[in-house]
């Protein structure tokens, strides 16, 4: 047990010692370290993209500039996900609570969603990415819904990374909607398997790693059912500054954790 604890401490020190800006060579070394444990690269990474507004405020810029810069971070995450062989990436793009924001900001975010889809769909197609949405799509204005539908139809033939956008999403609401689906189907005995099959995320693996930026330590109503055994990684970095280096650091930290799922260390070694 002491050897295991020492080994884990060593890995954590390495991960946290790399904080701050790296040069290209250091990032390559970190990427090499991650790829050396390819079997431990998470299948599904979920992101709570927090800190766009604070990033902009810190630079005396309007909040929308932070959201626009955050799109670049999403692009880098997807590119890295494709390179690393990640199966699914889910981004908490717009929550049901976000509708409470000023109407001007909500409208700007919907416009940004439309322009981003139009701009990125060609690259997503070339990288064999599939697009999927979760949440209450009927809440969205007609134009974003139409652009999303067109993009999903175009990318449906692909079989690479699944890019999932959580839009007008609430984890609690998703569970209620799943229960209602099962009720409408006449299901009398609700099992974990049945409920999972009725969720918006049906057919996808649960997240292995959830990354939250800007230092907040909460799930914020995101993937509540699916994150029962998800590893959490919180960073003080604002989302617009979360790029390739930061993703590799998070994955490397995840790779050196011991996921026991209720077992003890000795059982994992025996298996």
Query: In the annotation, is 98 catalytic?
Result: yes
pLDDT digits (tens, 9 = 90+) for 85-114: 999 999 999 999 999 999 999 999 999 999
Is 80 exceeded by the pLDDT of residue 269?
A: no
Which residue has better confidence, 67 or 263?
A: 67
User: How many angstroms separate the CA atoms of 67 and 55, rounded?
Assistant: 9
Q: How confident is the model over 110-124, as a mean pLDDT?
A: 98
Q: Are 247 and 26 in contact (CB under 8 A)?
A: no
pLDDT digits (tens, 9 = 90+) for 54-83: 999 999 999 999 999 999 999 999 999 999
Q: Domain map of the chain by residue range?
A: 42-254
User: How many angstroms separate the CA atoms of 226 and 197, rounded?
Assistant: 11
Q: Give the CA dihedral 252, 161, 28, 13, nearest 10 degrees.
A: -10
The confidence score (pLDDT) of residue 6 equals 38
Tell me the pTM: 0.89
Longest dimension (CA), the chain: 58
Among residues 3, 23, 83, 98, the one annotated as catalytic is 98
Query: In the annotation, is 50 catalytic?
Result: yes
| CATH 3.40.1180.10 applies to domain 42-254 | yes
The confidence score (pLDDT) of residue 83 equals 97
Among residues 50, 200, 208, 253, the one annotated as catalytic is 50
């Amino acid at each position: 047990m002491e050897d295991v604890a020492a080994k884990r401490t060593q890995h954590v020190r390495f991960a946290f010692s790399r904080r701050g800006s790296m040069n290209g060579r250091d990032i390559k070394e970190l990427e090499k370290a991650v790829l050396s444990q390819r079997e431990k690269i998470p299948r599904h990474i979920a992101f709570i993209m927090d800190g766009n507004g604070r990033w902009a405020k810190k630079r005396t810029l309007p909040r929308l500039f932070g959201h626009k810069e955050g799109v670049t971070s999403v692009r880098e995450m997807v590119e890295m996900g494709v390179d690393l062989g990640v199966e699914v990436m889910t981004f908490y793009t717009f929550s049901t609570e976000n509708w409470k924001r000023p109407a001007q900001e909500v409208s700007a975010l919907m416009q940004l969603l439309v322009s981003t889809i139009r701009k990125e769909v060609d690259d997503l197609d070339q990288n064999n990415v599939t697009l999927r949405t979760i949440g209450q799509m009927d809440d969205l204005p007609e134009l974003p819904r139409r652009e999303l539908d067109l993009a999903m139809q175009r990318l449906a033939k692909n079989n690479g990374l699944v890019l999932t956008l959580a839009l007008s999403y609430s984890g609690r609401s998703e569970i209620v909607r799943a229960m209602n689906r099962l009720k409408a189907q006449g299901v009398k005995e609700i099992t974990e398997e049945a409920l999972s099959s009725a969720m918006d995320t049906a057919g996808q693996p649960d997240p292995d790693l959830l990354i939250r930026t800007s230092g907040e330590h909460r799930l914020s109503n995101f993937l509540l059912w699916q994150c029962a055994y998800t590893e959490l990684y919180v960073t003080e970095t604002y989302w617009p500054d979360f790029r390739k280096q930061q993703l590799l650091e998070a994955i490397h930290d995840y790779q050196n954790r011991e996921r026991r799922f209720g077992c003890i260390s000795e059982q994992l070694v025996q298996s």
